[in-house]
Structure 1
C-alpha cells in the first residue's frame, strides 16, 4: 500500500429508502469521509442502490437486504473498515437486520465504527443481545444523543461511548429560489410557516392518526389567523404526503395550506428553511434543518430523539404529540412567535455547539482511519523485507 492509496470503506445504514432525513445523514457522512480520506473507495450498502448511486455518483452502491452471507462476504472482503450509521437504526425488530451484515464483517476481522448512530427503543431480547455483543467488538462507538448512550448502557454494553451529534449538522445548504416556491403554489409576500408531519409506523406506534391530524390542523388554523400565514407542509418521506393531506382535511383554512411536491435534495430542503417565518414539526431532520437555518421552531415530540433535540437546543420539550391537548400547545406556539427574536441568539449558540459536536464524530473517525492506514503500511513494509 502506497502513501497516496485510499482505503476501501463500507457504509451501512438506512439509505436508499427515499427518506430525506436518512439521506441527509448519508450526505453529511460522505462529505466527512471525503474530507478525511479523499482517495477512499466508498461502498454504500443501500436498500435502493440505483437511487443511492444517482444521488451520490462518486460512491459504489450495493444491496444488502435479501443478500446471502456468502455474497455479503465477497463485498466485505474488499473493505478496510465498516461504518455503521448514522441515524436511528438500532431498535426493536430492526437492529438484528443490520447487525447480521455487521457480524459477517466481524467474522472476517473487519474493524467496525459506529458513526453517530441512534439507538432505541430497545427492549426485545434478541435485538438487545445482538447490539450488546456486536458493538462490544467495535473499534469505536459514537452515538448521536444522550438517550442512545443510556439505551446502550442499559443493554449492558461496557465499551466507552462517545456522544456526538447527528451527521445532518454537517450539511451546507443549497439555494432554494423563491421561484421554486411560486411553482409550488406558494404566493409571495406572505408569512410562511413550515409544518412537518409523519406516519405512525414502528417509530411512533402510539400515535392516533385522526387525533394528531386534528391537533396539527388546529395548529395550522391558529397560525393562519394569528400571523396571517400560509402553511407549507414539508414531506420528509413519501408517506408524509398522505398524512399532510389528512391534516389539511381537518383545517378550516385549508385554502391557505400547500404541500411541497417537488423532488428535492437534503441540502435544498435545508435552503428552503430560510423562507419560513416559523417551523412546527414532528420529523427530527425537519427540526434540525430549521434550527440550522435560524428559523424559530417548535418540536412536536413523538420519540426520545426529538425530546433530546429539544433539550440540546434549549427549546420547550412538550409532553408528546400523542398526549397533547389543544390549549397548552397553541399557547406554546403563540409564545414561540412572540419570543422568536429574544430566543434567537441563545438558540444559535446551541446550534453552533451541536455542529461542533457533530464534527467530533469526524475526529474519532480520523483516529480510526489513521490507525488502519498505519497498520496497513506496516504490513506492506514487512512484506517487502527479504527473509
Structure 2
C-alpha cells in the first residue's frame, strides 16, 4: 500500500516529529510493507530519519513531485496534530488551514482517497476559514480526531459528510526506545528531584513567564527540586525558558536542555522527572505516557482536552486564569503523593494508547483492500 503523509513535518517541532515517528512506526507494525512518502520542509533529513521517501512540502518547490506522489498513492493521511486551524493568519491561499486543505483537494483531483488521521481541529474563527472547512474538509473519505471537542467543532463547521470517530493523539502509540542522552547532557549529581518545565511563546502573552517563575521558586524553597526546561520547539522554547529564568530568585538551581534532542530522548528525560509543569501539548503527552503527574497551562482547547483525559485537569489551569498560590499547592500535593497520582496517569494513558492504535485499525478497515 502506498501512503502519503501530510503534516507539520521537517520544521523542528518535537511534538509534530513525535507524531510522524508514531504514524510511521505504527503503519509498519500493522500494515504489510507500506510504501511511505512524507511531505516535509526538510525532505532529506526526514527521509534519512524515518527511512521513507520525502518531498518538499512548500508550494514553491517541487509541485510536480507532490502531484506525482499523490497520484501514485492509495491514500493520503492528513495529520496528525492540529493542522486545521486559523490561530495564525489565514489569507486566501496562505496559512496552515488553506495549505492542508488544498493538499486534500489535490489528492482528490488525482483520484486518491483521504483520511484525516488523529487530528485536533480548531480553532476556526475566520469567515474564510469556515468556508474552506465546509467545502474542502467534506472531501475526506474518513476522519479520526483526537478529542470530542474536535468532532463537535467539525460538525458545527458543517463537516458532516465523512464519518468521524474520536480516538486519541497518535503519539500515545509512540514506540519508546531507551536513550539517556538528554539526561546525560546535564551531568547532574542528583536525579531524584527533577521537575520538567515546558514553556512556549504564545503571541504577546508574557505574564505566565513571571507566574511560572514564582511557582518554581516556591517549589525549590519547599522541596529542594531541580527544574529542567525542555525546549520542545528549538530556539522558540529556549528563549521562552530564559524569559522565565529572568524572573526567578533561584535561577541558579535550574537547567535548560539542549534544543537538538529527538522526541524519544525528550520523552525519556521527562519520564525520569517527578512531575511536569508545562504548556506544550506533547510535553504533557510525554508525561502521560511515562506516568509522570503533571500540571498543564492550557492556552488552547487541545491542552484542556488532554488534561481532562489524563486525569490532571483538577491540578491545572487555563493560561489566562493562573492562580500562583493554588498551582504551587497543587504541585506540592503531586510531589508528596507522586506514586498515587502516577498510577492514575498510567491508567488513563493505557486507555489512550488503545485509542491511538485504533487510528491504524480504522485505516485498515476503511482503506486496505478496498
Partner of 1:60: 53
1:21-36 counterparts in 2 under 5 A? 21-36=15-30
Alpha carbons 2:172, 2:285 under 8 Å: kept: yes
Residue in structure 1 matched with residue 333 of structure 2 by the alignment = 335
Which residue pairs with 2:265 in the alignment?
268
- Within 5 Å, give how 1:372-387 maps onto structure 2: 372=370
Other structure's SS at 2:313 match: coil
Inter-partner Cα distance in structure 2 for 1:276 and 1:189:
8
Q: Is the 8 A contact 1:91 1:121 kept in 2?
A: yes
C-alpha separation in 1, matches of 2:133 and 2:189? 49
Cα distance in 1 for partners of 2:102, 2:325 equals 47
The aligned runs of 1:100-249 (5 Å cut-off) are 100-159=102-161, 160-177=163-180, 180-200=182-202, 205=203, 208-209=205-206, 211-238=207-234, 239-249=236-246
1:261-300 superposed matches below 5 A? 261=258, 263-300=260-297
Judge conservation of contact 1:185–1:258 (CA < 8 Å) in 2. no
> What secondary structure does 2:140 align onto?
coil
Task: Report the counterpart of residue 321 of structure 2 in structure 1.
Answer: 323
Cα root mean square deviation, aligned: 1.8
TM-score (norm 2): 0.92
Tell me if the contact between 2:82 and 2:120 (Cα under 8 Å) persists in the aligned partners. yes
Flag the 1:349–1:249 CA change in 2: closer, same or farther, 3 A.
same
**322-331 or 104-113: which moved more?**
322-331
Match of 1:37 in 2: 31
Q: Is the 8 A contact 2:55 2:66 kept in 1?
A: no
* Cα deviation 1:77-107 (Å, max 9, x = unaligned): 2111111000001001221111112111111
- Between structure 1 and structure 2, the one with the greater Rg is 1
Gaps of 5+ in 2: 91-95
The separation in 1 between residues aligned to 2:24 and 2:208, in whole angstroms, is 36
Is 71-80 or 180-189 further displaced after alignment? 180-189
> TM-score, normalised to structure 1's length?
0.88
Q: Which segments of structure 1 move beyond 3 Å, counting only runs of 4 or more?
A: 67-72
> Which structure 2 residues correspond to residues 60-79 of structure 1 after superposition, within 5 A?
60-67=53-60, 72-79=66-73
Pair 367,14 (structure 1): closer, same or farther in 2 beyond 3 Å: same
8 Å CA contact 1:182–1:188 kept in 2: the answer is no
